Structure 1
Amino acid sequence: MSHSSGGERASNDGCNDRYDALRRLAFDLGIRWSGANEDIWMRLNPDVWQMTHNPCLVLNAVSREKIDEHLADDTFAVQLQRIIDQHQKHLAAPTWFTTLPDASAIGQIAYFSMEYMLSESLPLYSGGLGNVAGDQLKAASDLGVPVIAVGMLWQHGYFRQEIDSAGRQHALFPVNDTAQMPIEPLLRPDGSLLRLAIDLPGLTVWLRGWQVRIGRSRLLLLDSNDPINPVPVRLITEQLYGGDAEMRLRQEIVLGIGGWRLLEAAGHHPRICHLNDGHAAFVALERARNYMCVHSVDFQVALTATRAGNLFTTHTPVSEGFDCFEPALIGKYLRRYIEQELEQPLQNIISMGQAPGGAPDSAFNTAWFALRCSGAVNAVSQLHAQTSRRLFQPLFPRVPTDEVPIGHIVNGIHIPTWMSTDVQERWQSTRGEQHPWSVSIPADIGRLLGEVDDGLLWQLRQQARAVLVAFVRQQLARSEAVRGESLSVIECAGAGLHPEVLTLGFARRFAPYKRPNLLLADPDRLLRLLNHPARPVQLLIAGKAHPANQVGQEMIRQWHQFIRRPEARGRVAFIEDYDMRIARHLVQGVDVWINTPRRPWEACGTSGMKVLANGGLNLSQLDGWWAQAYAADLGWALGDAQEHSAEHDTADAEQLYLLLEKQVIPAFYDRGGDGRPAGWIKRMRASMGTLVAQYSADRTVREYVEHYYAPMARAYVARSGHDSALARNLVARYADLVKHWPGLSIDDPVFAQGEAGYDIRVMVKLGGVDASLIQVQVYRSAQSSEPWKTWNLTPVAGPGSASAVCYTGAIAEAYPVDFYTVRIVLKCEAEMDACVAAPWILWQK
């Protein structure tokens, strides 16, 4: 009897261990579930799995008794153990990051974002910003980069969309049930829930901590929905991008100040803090406050030390996109924190979010504040960097726009997330580990594609389109059913869509600058294009308009009206409630991805990148990433690479129609004797071979490590070491510059004509400024095809006073003398952060 009881206990223990392992797999968003490993979820509940692909929902939909029956089954147990072993092997394998010689010096990176798009099972995102954050977090896991991310656990997330029979958008806000999501509460070492506090005027805000596992990476989430809080406080984490300015400020305080406290409470001490846009700007204050406490220094020393490790990525291409708050509102919520905990006058901090010399009551701009608190700032495409320099120019009134210190790293997408499972499995079956998204074995995609014949490439494209058409029919039928349509209408939903017709895709936020209705400029012409008897086209559309954006909602209604025209039936479909699941199906199945923003209002754009690995092609405005990726053999370009007002939309619409009529559609239907479009497939090869790796999140994260994380970590360590000696010296140096810079002056330079240009001589009166900190330069502005240029002058040793130094040099070009001027800037050796050093500039004229 005791033997039987012991065997039963052993069996139960085995099931419990396997259940815990199964649950860990379900909660790890770093695993890509596909035909190669999804059978365990199919066996548990095929209906829920096929509808959601959410392992957490599968576990919750099946009784523990039934799960235990499967776990006791030898076949199931073997499958489960194989998946566990493969995943553990993957996590334990050496990574790209571990091969770096200075990996340990970089330390941990904290990544702050208001939203994350990681999985449809975790709806904590709105769109592009969350997409970037989620894909970079996954790529960091693949590469082994030690990133710990911080975000918000939204009770409702972003709104869900319903379109009624009249084409009106309705915003719905279903509750995010934590029991159905792949998240776990953060616990203290004693097993209690991790809770922390933020003091706001008159009350304490209690925040709970949660975590999400993404392979090697972790995402920590803040949650104000604690019953101990008053209802208005509980609602701080209710809705992403909802509420008024006051609610938005509360949310940003929680993300920034609460987020850094959550990191500390969870035992993380990162050297780098990466701000994904300006929403988390207040983290710079809390990081400095924490440094003050740990190192017993004042705020200026703490900010100077920690600024070196703060990276700010701006995503906004228009000034209206920056969050701005009235100074009185900042004072209402942060006065006590600033004056008592930071020991700073309130206006000193508020002025960091205002233009130099601006009125004290001018708006506090969080992006400007983030820039001033960061050691480096980057935009997300080459064109966006140019746009951002103009947007941030008010902070650098004496600095030429081209020298405003903003770099760029182009966004990329996490290829395994967006590549179809059919394509992924075909690559793995033919090439093993050498595939386009390999991290451990870099692949020459062009060479690999050269080993694949046209027949296979076209077969994969045909299959992907057929899968998409089936999915869209299913989605349309569901929408009709929700609207209460008849069974006959439901059964006919999407029936006109055909798996062998050229399929165009257009999906994004409906906002005027995105120009989602550019194709509707001439509805009759579009109908002729769609219904060509020999070369038909079908168009799939998706997207949301912000609930407060009436213009965007009207654009959706206009598409709805067009789709209801008898001639458009079966040729155009609007797929409701655009989310990650719909986006994934669209980018995997469409033949051409269309993007029509008004240049330069697309900071980067990643939707077009997602079609690349799936064999889709791009027809896009020369904006964002496409402005630097486009080549004639890779896709099609809209626009003339210039900026225009809305009056130019008519010309762009005409060009869009012509591109489709004269180039895109003929190329797709120009078939050879084998029934395949050789020219189209050639373009697919070129696009995939040239662009897939270049626009991957792996490349993006590697560049962040090499260009920002590594040097910034070294700078932070240097400033924080030896009792913050360097940070203290830099604060004193800054104070000395403030005192003496007004006395610095430049005498009229002498330009002597030489054989190849000019010999220059100029006297500089130092006025007390340390000569070792300054660089005297000759500057020439851009001239026709010649970019701006500078030449460094050198001090002349010899007799002279300590208050004046002669500088000389030569330039090997001979524009008129009036084209040149002399200026003084700070040297790199001054060790000031670029955003701090740039305003220190003196012009001779």
Structure 2
Amino acid sequence: MDTLLPKLQKLTQNLWWTWKPEVRTIFRDLDLDLYHLVHQNPMSVLKQITPEQLESRAADVDIPARVDRALRQLQEYLTPVTTWGLIHAGAMRSRPVAYFCMEFGIHESLPIYSGGLGILAGDHLKAASDLGIPLVGVGLLYHEGYTSQVLNGEFWQQDVVEPFDIADLPLVPAVGRHGEPIKVSVELPGRIVQASVLEVQVGRIRLILLDTRVKQNDPKDVALAARLYGGDQRMRIEQELLLGVGGVRALRALGISASVFHLNEGHSAFALLERARHRIQSDGMDPHLALQEVASATVFTTHTPVDAGHDRFPADLAAEHLRPLAEGLKLPLDEVMGLGRVNPHDHGSPFLPTVLALKLSRRANGVSALHGVVSRKMWNHLYPGLREDAVPIGHVTNGVHLPTWLATEMNHLYESHLGVHYQDALTRPDTWAKIVNVSSAEIWETKQVLKARTIRFVRQRCASMRTRLVLPEVEPAPLDPDALTIGFARRFVPYKRPDLLFSDLERLDRLVNHPERPVNLIFSGRAHPADSTGKGLIQKVANILEDPRFRYRIVFIENYNIHVGRMLYQGIDAWLNNPQRPLEACGTSGMKVVLNGGLHISVRDGWWAESYDGENGFAIGTGETHANQATQDERDAEELFRVLEEEVVPLYYENRNAAGVPRCWVDRVKHSIRTLGWRFNADRMVQDYVHHLYVPASTSSSCQMPPA
């Protein structure tokens, strides 16, 4: 038993366990209550469990043998004979892709993410690891994390800061050639800020994180990277400089010579100026040639079709912060400023990192086919003389990392019928075609197990919130386990229209309380801490749910995060998405639901615009939009109710066999998995990046930039 604890500790040192449910189960079985109390963090479990309890539980649930098996599997994973990346991206092994992002959603115990962008980045790293892609992630360590969401007595979102202990994470200081801890410095107005460089292993991938908790820093600079998306515009631009400039310098200090920079959103655009600055200072390159060289080796992914979602820094603020970079680039400050202006000659206009990234990247993409169209239209004015369809912004549709989001029970079902090695061939249509041969009863029974678990979880969370708010207990417990259960969870902003179903409360009452065909609705989501409009939407939804008509049928779950999302995606019957088209760039939550045997109900926006075939889910509307948004909202609300009343609900309740299995519903589930599973997984997404963007960028020597 003396050797068990070191083995368990070794198992926690690589975040590979975050997508290995059989490994997570080892720590859960040590102490279930403690496991949930510490946000499913294995390192915290080992720190807090007593030696006596460890010895007792280890004997009860056969921990030693399971740990040995997990360590063997990890070693085999880290030392493969071959990988997809070795064959298709071998040229980048000595010069990997550097993947910059403001946030990374790896696991709920590492709270350096806020939402979809971070979750996508986490899935990208995990898929790159599985495929063996030479890639290193670059981000910031927010030692106060993001925020936890708590509703007060008026159902107004409170944003609670919950600092985490770095000792509870497998972060290690990066060291130089002689074993010295690596630090980088970044010039900011009137001072130099330092950051230590930490590393965490995500499978085969190194994730580098910069930490400003350095004793040489002023307290305000220690606070610079305390919280994700915190502070005002000055703090925001300084965070982005820290990420971009500091991230490039960290790579250099680690001896990592990246062939490609992949910027996941514009927050890290300053990395491109720092990369060019280094070439000029170290190799004597002409400034304009250096910028062109950088552009030729840069991939930029934009995620934001909403104009207001792109950072805009006032001209004087940007100039103040860009002066050191301009001097290093040996270019006039105004010329460097022009790289981030929509109109480079409008000297008083704001500076946009997104514009800088577009001008200094040879290859840019949206995250769905429709988003590519929207982005080309949105940024057409940066490319004078080009038709809209010729604007050099393509698309790579997002996908989700299946092992992270898939329920263990669904994985067992897939292994039984698609083959035990089906995860090695996720992108092949023939892998998923075998789902048609699975009996409807087996799929239905599996889904009922998952649904029961989800409803238990939701009831517990609801009861806990009501107890804290001193609200009357709901008896009987909300949500009928036999009722059709639909989920809606995402960031609460007006364009996502979380309140669309509440436009007609009488009709909603008839829908959810139908005596023979009831419907459960589960809502979750949060607003940005500074977004009072989004918080108002949460309050509106939560207040309506106190109406006696809806108290047993509709619930709201606090603190939407990776854990809550996983519980919802795996157990609900259908997923609802009703944004204003075309403002949903992609939307990956529905993909996670489909892979877990649920159906997607959505406006034809984001990924659904390119994937709905009439039988693999449900569509709200035709995709055509009215010029007046209020009119469109009315149309979409009417169409949403119609789809639910005439298509979704009947399909779920009708045509049931003697065992109660809704045959037509399950047939649609099978068709959904067959047609969508192979396309909307992160393996396919990363493979697309490799083939269409990484490999060309790694070997490119020319570029065509819009004029600066």
Greater Cα radius of gyration, structure 1 or 2: 1
Instruction: Give the match's secondary structure for 2:334.
Output: helix
**Counterparts of 2:429 and 2:587, CA distance in 1:** 25
Residue number in structure 1 paired with 2:634: 650
Tell me the residue number matched to 1:419: 406
Determine if contact 1:106/1:709 at 8 Å carries over to the other structure: no
Query: Which of these residues, 351, 372, 377, is aligned with residue 364 of structure 1?
Result: 351
- Is it true that 1:230 corresponds to 2:212 in the alignment? no
In 2, Cα distance between the equivalents of 1:500 and 1:187? 56
Q: CA deviation at 1:547?
A: 2.5
Q: Report Cα offsets for 1:254-307 as digits up to 9, x if no partner.
A: 000001111111221110100000000000011112222342323222222222
Q: What is the count of residue pairs matched by the alignment?
A: 703
Corresponding residue to 2:705 among 835, 839, 844:
835
Q: 2:696 aligns with which of 711, 723, 738?
A: 711
What is the aligned-residue identity percentage? 38
**1:92–1:451 Cα change, 3 Å:** farther
Matched, 1:158 2:140: no
Counterpart in 2 of 1:500? Answer: 482
Pair 1:599–1:72, CA change in 2 (3 A): closer
Within 2, Cα distance between the matches of 1:466 and 1:459?
Answer: 11
Matched-pair contact (CA < 8 Å) for 1:405–1:835: no
Please give the alpha-carbon distance, in whole angstroms, between the structure 1 residues aligned to 2:61 and 2:616.
50
**Quick check: 2:97–2:260 contact (8 Å CA) kept in 1?**
yes
CA distance in 2, matches of 1:696, 1:441: 7
Whether the 8 Å contact between 1:122 and 1:182 is mirrored in structure 2 is: no
- Corresponding residue number in structure 2 for 1:733: none
Partner of 2:435: 449
Q: 1:347, CA displacement in angstroms?
A: 0.5
Aligned mates of 2:63, 2:398 — CA distance in 1: 40
Equivalent in the alignment of 2:78? 91
2:613 maps to 1:627: no
C-alpha distance in structure 2 between counterparts of 1:704 and 1:261, whole Å: 25
Secondary structure (helix, strand or coil) at the match of 2:527 reads coil
Give the drift of 1:423: 1.0
- Structure 1 residues 66 and 193: CA distance shift in structure 2, 3 A: farther
1:450-479 Cα offsets, whole Å, 9 max, x none, are 231111011111111111101101111222
Match of 1:812 in 2: none
The code of the aligned residue for 2:576 comes to I
Paired AA for residue 709 in structure 1? Y
Shift of 1:555: 1.4
Read off the aligned partner of 1:652 and give its amino acid letter.
Answer: D
**CA spacing shift, 1:493–1:222, aligned 2, 3 Å:** farther
Match of 2:146, SS state, is coil
The 1:598–1:73 alpha-carbon spacing in structure 2 relative to 1, beyond 3 Å, is: closer
> Does 2:136 align with 1:148?
yes
Match of 1:394 in 2: 381
> Does the CA contact (< 8 Å) of 2:274 and 2:325 recur in 1?
no
1:669 aligns with 2:653: yes
User: SS state of the match for residue 620, structure 1?
Assistant: strand
Q: Which residue of 1 aligns with 2:524?
A: 542
Q: Which residue of 2 aligns with 1:342?
A: 329
Cα offsets for 1:133-167 (capped at 9, x unmatched): 01011000000001100011112232211112322
Rounded Cα–Cα distance in structure 1 between residues aligned with 2:591 and 2:57: 40
- The alpha carbon displacement at 1:73 in A equals 11
Q: State the partner residue of 1:247.
A: 235
CA contact (8 A) 1:108 1:270 kept: yes
Q: TM-score, normalised by structure 1?
A: 0.80
The reply to whether residue 49 of structure 1 matches residue 24 of structure 2 is: no
Structure 1 pair 42/162, CA: closer, same or farther in 2 (3 Å)?
A: closer
* CA drift at 1:182: 3.4
Quote the Cα distance in structure 2 between the aligned partners of 1:39 and 1:129: 28
Counterpart of 1:835, as a letter, is M
2-side partners of 1:334 and 1:64: how far apart? 55
User: Corresponding residue for 2:495?
Assistant: 513
Q: CA contact under 8 A between 2:97 and 2:261: conserved in structure 1?
A: yes
More contact order relative to length (CA 8 Å, sep ≥ 6): 2
| Structure 2 gap segments, 5+ residues each | none
Distance 1:493 1:251, change over 3 A: farther
Shift of 1:105: 7.1
1:164 and 1:552 mapped to 2: Cα distance?
Answer: 15
Distance 2:61 2:657 in 1: 52
TM-score under structure 2 length normalisation: 0.95
Map residues 659-808 of structure 1 onto 2, 5 A cutoff: 659-670=643-654, 671-715=656-700, 719=701
Deviations for 1:734-767, whole angstroms, at most 9, x for unmatched residues? xxxxxxxxxxxxxxxxxxxxxxxxxxxxxxxxxx
Superposition deviation, residue 333 in structure 1: 1.8
Partner of 1:828: none
Residue-by-residue CA offset, 1:585-634 (whole Å, 9 max, x unaligned): 11111111000110110111111111011111011011111011111111
Judged with a 3 Å threshold, the aligned counterparts in structure 2 of structure 1 residues 689 and 43 are, in CA distance, closer, same or farther, namely closer
Say whether 1:564 aligns with 2:434. Answer: no
SS of 1:209's equivalent in the other structure is strand
Shift in CA distance, 454/70, structure 1 to aligned 2, threshold 3 Å: closer
1:580 maps to 562
Choose the corresponding residue for 1:471, options 443, 457, 470.
457
| 1:736 paired residue number | none
Q: Could you tell me which amino acid in structure 2 is paired with residue 582 of structure 1?
A: V
RMSD: 2.3
The offset of 1:211, in angstroms, is 1.4
C-alpha contact (below 8 Å) 2:18/2:106 kept by paired residues:
no
Q: Secondary structure at the match of 1:611?
A: helix
Cross-structure match for 1:462 = 448
Residue number in structure 2 paired with 1:275: 263
AA aligned to 1:47 is D
In structure 2, C-alpha distance between the alignment counterparts of 1:73 and 1:677, rounded to whole Å: 40
Q: Alignment partner for residue 352 of structure 1, among 332, 339, 343?
A: 339
Q: 1:552 aligns with which of 534, 548, 559?
A: 534
User: Are the counterparts in 1 of residues 406 and 570 from structure 2 also a CA contact under 8 Å?
Assistant: yes
Tell me which residue corresponds to 2:571.
589
Distance change (3 Å), C-alpha of 1:169 and 1:76? closer
Shift of 1:198: 1.3
Q: Is 2:607 the counterpart of 1:639? A: no
Whether contact under 8 Å (1:595, 1:621) holds in the other structure is yes
SS across alignment from 1:364: coil
Gaps of 5+ in 1: 1-10, 720-830, 841-845
Say whether the 8 Å CA contact 1:211–1:220 is kept in structure 2.
yes
Q: Measure, in 1, the Cα distance between the counterparts of 2:59 and 2:587.
A: 48
| Contact 2:418/2:431 (<8 A) preserved | no
CA contact (8 A) 2:400 2:588 kept: yes
C-alpha distance in 2, partners of 1:239/1:493?
A: 40
Counterpart CA distance in 2 for 1:577 and 1:302 is: 45
1:95-494 correspondence to structure 2 within 5 Å: 95-100=83-88, 103-104=91-92, 107-339=95-327, 341-356=328-343, 358-429=345-416, 432-435=419-422, 437-439=423-425, 442=428, 444-485=430-471, 489=473, 492=474
Q: Which amino acid aligns with 1:330?
A: A
**Deviation of the 1:86 alpha carbon:** 1.4
**Separation (CA, whole Å) in 1 of partners of 2:605 and 2:554:** 26
The 1:33–1:116 alpha-carbon spacing in structure 2 relative to 1, beyond 3 Å, is closer
Q: In the alignment, is the contact (CA less than 8 A) between 1:389 and 1:405 conserved in 2?
A: yes
Deviations 1:494-540 (A, max 9, x none): 71312221000001111111111000010111011000000000000
Q: What is the deviation of 1:398?
A: 2.2
State whether residues 196 and 206 of structure 1, in contact with CA within 8 Å, keep that contact through their aligned partners in structure 2. Answer: yes
Give CA deviations for 1:361-406 in whole Å, capped at 9, x if unaligned.
1111111111111121111111111111111112123221111111
Cα 1:409–1:576 shift into 2, 3 Å: same
